[in-house]
Amino acid sequence: MMKIRFAGLVLLLALPWSLHGQGLAKAESFGVAVRTATVNQQSPAAVLPPDGSVVQTQANDVTVGTFVTAQDAFATATGASDGALSDAVSSATLGTVNILNGLITADGVVAMASSTVGNSNAEGSSLGNLVVNGVPLNDPAPNTRVDLPGVGYALLNEQIPTSGGITVNMIHVILQQPVLGLFGQVTGVRTIGDIIVGSATSSVN
């Protein structure tokens, strides 16, 4: 009888931990991020706190050196860990965006990621007035790649499945540099940094 009571007590004590372990909701987003050898900057950013709630940050103007300028940037993260009813939603929205002195421009960027148990999507994401290297691109399909001669390449509407979730990067520029051989010939390229505009991540595990 004593053993049964003790086992019950152990189960009761373990219950909150087991619930906590299931359906853990995570959400985060940011407006602009630049990572190079000399620059490591991200703004604005929002991360869902462990107890769940709503977090939003805002920046009217974002300037990261000569890499990016953006206006009206909002980052939001929300959701709750609640077993089978857990949910996580994050979004990043921006108005006008200018990357690498006009190489890429856009007006109206929305990255949105949403997760529940067994279900994640990027519905609600969009790119307005996108122009890449002088070419207008209307509503690019997920993971559209555009080469940028002398710079690297861009992934547009990048959607990356993650464990129990998804990451959405609406504009992702990979900065590359040629690798030269002994005689000055180009033998390859190497990545020297990247620029992300409009990123949202969500997951439930």
Partner 1 sequence: MTRLRLLAGFAAIGAGALFAWSCEPHPVLAPTIGGPQFHFLVFQCQPLKMTGGGRIDFPPGTADKNPPASHIFETFGAHVIASGQVVDGTCVADKGELEWVDHRDEMRLNGSPLNLHATAVTFAELAVDTDCSDGAVHWGGQLRVQNTGQEGLHFEVWDCDNGEPGAGHDGFAIRVIEPIDGLGHYEVMCPDESLPPAEPSCTLTGGNRQFHPTH
Does position 203 bind partner 1 by CB under 8 A? Answer: no
Of 14-22, 69-77, 155-163, 184-192: span binding partner 1 (CB under 8 A)? 69-77
Show the binding pattern over residues 70-109: x = contacts partner 1 (CB under 8 A), - = does not. Answer: --x-x-xxxxx-x--xxx-x-x-x-x-----------xx-
Show the binding pattern over residues 129-148: x = contacts partner 1 (CB under 8 A), - = does not. Answer: x---------x---------
Q: What is the per-residue DSSP string for the chain? A: -HHHHHHHHHHHHHHHHHHHHSS-EEEEEEEEEEEESS-EEEEEEEE--TT-EEEEEEEEEEEETTTEEEEEEEEEEEEE--GGG-EEEEEEEEEEEEETTTTEEEEEEEEEEEEETTEEE-TT-EE-SEEETTEEE-SPPTTEEEEETTTEEEEEEEEEEETTEEEEEEEEEEEEEEEE-TTS-EEEEEEEEEEEEEEEEEEE-
Provide, rounded to whole angstroms, the least separation between the CB of residue 123 and partner 1: 4
Provide, rounded to whole angstroms, the least separation between the CB of residue 177 and partner 1: 33
Cβ(199)–Cβ(46) below 8 Å: no
Of 1-9, 114-122, 152-160, 188-196: span binding partner 1 (CB under 8 A)? 114-122
Show the binding pattern over residues 158-177: x = contacts partner 1 (CB under 8 A), - = does not. Answer: --------------------
Binding region for partner 1 (CB under 8 A): 52-56, 58, 60, 72, 74, 76-80, 82, 85-87, 89, 91, 93, 95, 107-108, 110, 112, 114, 116, 119, 121, 123-129, 139
